[in-house]
Amino acid sequence: MTESFCVEVILALPEICHRHRVYGDEAATVGQAVAASGLDRLCHDVTGAWPSAYGIHGRRVGRDHAPGHGARIEVLRALAVDPKAARRRRVASARAERRGAGDQMPD
């Protein structure tokens, strides 16, 4: 006998966080829960790409993983910018600003 359960599927976008509760039996997988929520389609429509991965409470899981009752499934998007490259640009910009500020003479 299967018991009913509930999971929450979340898709965080820069502008808004979408949440959808999915009810089903314990045999449901992460992929089935995300498909039932429709947030995989929304991710594709908004970003132009399908979800890159899924997570439960901050841990990466596969589509065939069986979530437990009360699990929070996170729909993960591909990164828009490489974090290391973005940090390098910020550091270079800050260094350039410091050099430029030192060259100016007060009136």
Query: What digits encode the pLDDT tens for the residues 30-53?
Result: 988 998 898 988 888 887 878 888
Rounded Cα distance between 73 and 83, Å, is 24
Q: Which residues contact 63 (CB under 8 A, 6 or more apart)?
A: 29, 30, 31, 34, 54
Total number of domains in the chain? 1
At 78, the amino acid letter reads: A
Helix (H, G, I), strand (E, B) or coil at 7: strand
Q: What is the CATH number of the domain that holds 49?
A: 3.10.20.30
* 1 confidence band (pLDDT: 50, 70, 90): very low
Rounded Cα distance between 88 and 94, Å, is 10
Q: Which domain, by its residues, includes 48?
A: 4-103
- β-strand partners of 55: 60, 74
Rounded Cα distance between 69 and 91, Å, is 44
